[in-house]
Amino acid sequence: MPVKQLLKGRKYKILAWLEGGSCQVEAFLSELKVNSFQTCKEVVALIAKAAQFGPPENEEVCRLADKKKAGDLYLFLTGGGICVFWFYYKRNIVIISCTNVSDFASEITNAFFIKRKFAEEIEYDPFK
């Protein structure tokens, strides 16, 4: 399974998708840390809280990525305009990618594609 564990919380492990051995999530957060430290702290805090207590129930911060499509692809959205695409897998939250809200339209298509790819690799039906 092409994922890497980023955090282990009381409620969930946070896994990140690996593509070709590299982790887009870590690369994005490293760049964000240099360009906008406060926004990076906000994203990391949101992910860490989800690991400890589960995703927030506030729909402004956590919601389905696309209510029109089947499946359980979710989105964390920060005040700094960062989108984090993720889904549940067993007792894990698998983060597919992070992006700026301005790139949302192209990234959501990619996120659904990666989720399907994950499903094929582990024979998991993400659209049950």
pLDDT one-digit tens code per residue, 70-126: 678 999 999 889 999 999 998 999 999 999 988 888 888 889 888 888 888 776 544
Please give the CATH architecture assigned to the domain spanning 3-121.
2-Layer Sandwich (3.30)
Confidence band, pLDDT 50/70/90 cuts, at residue 1: low
3-state helix, strand, coil in the chain (%, to 5): 40, 30, 30
So what's the pLDDT on residue 39?
94
So what's the pLDDT on residue 110?
87
| Alpha helices per DSSP H over the chain | 24-35, 37-53, 104-122
Q: How much is the pTM?
A: 0.88
